[in-house]
Structure 1
Amino acid sequence: MTAFLNALGGKLAERWFALLAVPGLVYLVALATAVTLGRRHWRDTGRLRERLDALAAAPGAHSAGVLAVCAVAVLAGAALTGTGVQAMGALVERVWLTAPRGPVTRWLTERRSRGWRAADDAYRTALVAAGRARLSGAADADGLVAEAEARYARRNRIGLVAPRHPFWTGDRVTTPDRRVWRAYRLDLTAAWPHLWLLAPDSTRAELGTSRTALTAAARLTAWGVAYLLLALWWWPAALVGAATLATGAVRGRTAAASFAELAEALVDLQGADLARALGLECEGRLTPDTGEELTRLLSKPD
């Protein structure tokens, strides 16, 4: 038991150091650099070196006690900074997944919905044209098919289904609910805990990894915002902030897509097993009739 607790404590310390202390220390260094150099002396390394020499020559710099207190203070400041940015990351994640509740988010949702409908109309028009060209044996049939495929991909880049959220990430994470209902008449929200319990450990690990990746991407985006704030004093921080912000956004989209695909795959692979586990007859794959019956059973109506 002692060995287990020691190992657990070591892992927690490593995780704390990686998630909070190290990024916080780097940010504090960037903050000190920004405050020291400012806008007018943004590349004056001599000014920075003079400041470091002055700190090294201070009387307290030769006292072990003072150095220990400063080290603890810096680590505490780094941890507090990391904790603050982690909280900001949770806010970023919540914004990514938010539903339209105010005028701004409703406008963004409607804007994305209009773009999707226009892309969907263009795709269906191109699909009809390609089908007619194929049936008539037109010489440009292959080109029209390629055009229809390109328009299909363009529509899917906006969303696999009509948008209902102001941001792409929120729609992608909730898309499995609608696609599973359309394919199987199964309420994924009601079925998810049961599917999770039936899933093998490897599947749950993959789902957990993709969900954690989304949270990590939101946290990275929050770090990008924090570095952009430093640009108010030292403009080179804007380069770091913009790169970090872009990386976090791309990783967030990738993680959201991965989680949604795995959620749909879980239903495809375990949906029939769930029906049989609850005593329903299900030969082969899950059908809409069985999915509807399963939804009624799981929703527990009065």
Structure 2
Amino acid sequence: MTSAFLSALSGRIAERWLALLALPGLLFLATLTTALVLGHAHWSDLELLRDRVDALAASPASGSAGTVVLVAAGVLAGAAVTGAAAQSLGAGVELLWCAEPRGPVLRYLADRRARRWRAADEAFRGALVAAGRARIEGAADADRLTDVAERRHADRARIASAPPRHPFAMGDRLAAPGRRLWRAHGLDLAAAWPHLWLLAADGTRAELQAARLRFTAAARLCAWGAGYLALALWWWPAALAGVVALVSGVRRGHAAAEAFAELTEALADLHLRDLATAMGVECGGSVDRELGERLTRVLRKETGPAPGGSVT
């Protein structure tokens, strides 16, 4: 039984290693080799690439089994190192997507998004007023103005659903459930999250974990895209792969952040009563702000006002 378990575990580890590190790393190393051999001057000369490969295969060293094993091991090791580097860079991309506006560059990006949102909000409000006035007056272009207002609302929503605070949209989307729960119920989601996680069903946890893994995979895809853009310094076609990977990674990151945020807020909405019951907090007929504030005090272990009026 133990050997079967270890065999299955090693098989899964090998599959993940191949999927996450080895295969993407091998593809990157192949592109790197192509870039170094062809360069910009012979970017499409596949015959030159084939001749180089044939010359390498015909060398005396290639007939030695030991040399072949060493080269294969070196290539696999290089692929694994490359994949590990992409994973590390992907973790940095995740941190950047969720970063607070600290430092001049991030503050500038956050302020720029806030200005764009305010401009889109003003355009939406103006279009909404115009559409409402046309409806009241029975104007012939009321439907057209309504469509314009809907498009302006969509333009604003593409930036953020609320006034943005983060440099990137993913940070705002992931922070939105906590902000909404605090405003609606006075609930500190950061303090409540570990308890809500323990109350969640296995299926709900699996959905949340899947969304979180998709977010990580999207950031890692952006890291690979940055690597291919770097290869474009030697072989410009690599830029095509880099741009596609970056655009796809950002789009997948948006979708994963949206899914994770919606699931997080839904979990809190559905299990707020269960959390109150588990924590021994009386829950009346409705989930109101008083219940959320009591739960927050219990979860934060707040015992009352401290000297100087602060809360501990």
Range of TM-score over shorter length: over 0.9
Q: Pairwise mapping of residues 1-302 of structure 1 onto structure 2 (< 5 A)? A: 1-135=2-136, 137-301=138-302, 302=312
Check whether the contact 1:159–1:171 (CA below 8 A) recurs between aligned residues. Answer: yes
Identity %: 59
Equivalent position amino acid for 2:147 in 1: A
Which letter does structure 2 place at the counterpart of 1:245? L
Q: Distance in 2 between matches of 1:71 and 1:259?
A: 40
Q: Say what the alpha-carbon RMSD is for the aligned residues.
A: 1.6
CA distance in 1, matches of 2:264, 2:96: 21
Equivalent residue letter for 2:180:
R
Q: CA deviation at 1:277?
A: 2.0
8 Å CA contact 1:190, 1:295 repeated in 2? yes
Distance in 1, Cα, partners of 2:133 & 2:277: 44
Structure 1 stretches of 4+ moved >6 Å? none
Q: Which residue of 1 aligns with 2:305?
A: none
- Secondary structure of the structure 1 residue equivalent to 2:187: coil
Letter in 1 for 2:17: W
Per-residue CA distance 1:169-220 (angstroms, 9 max, x = gap): 1111111111111222211111111111111010011000001100000001
Seen in structure 2, the aligned counterparts of structure 1 residues 81 and 126 have a Cα distance that, compared at 3 Å, is same
Contact residue 99 and residue 105 of structure 1 kept, 8 A: yes
Distance 1:172 1:48 in 2: 46
Bigger Cα displacement from structure 2, 196-205 vs 148-157 = 148-157
Instruction: Give the Cα separation in 2 of the matches to 1:158 and 1:118.
Output: 11
Shift of 1:49: 1.3
Aligned residues: 302
Aligned CA distance change for structure 1 residues 85 and 128 (closer, same or farther; 3 Å): same
Judging changes above 3 Å, is the alpha-carbon distance between structure 1 residues 108 and 33 closer, same or farther for their aligned structure 2 residues? same
Residues 26-73 of structure 1: CA deviation (Å, up to 9, x unaligned): 111111111011111111112111111111111111111111111111
TM-score by length of 2: 0.92
2: CA distance between counterparts of 1:40 and 1:256? 42
- What is the CA–CA distance in structure 2 between the aligned matches of 1:259 and 1:147, rounded to whole Å? 31
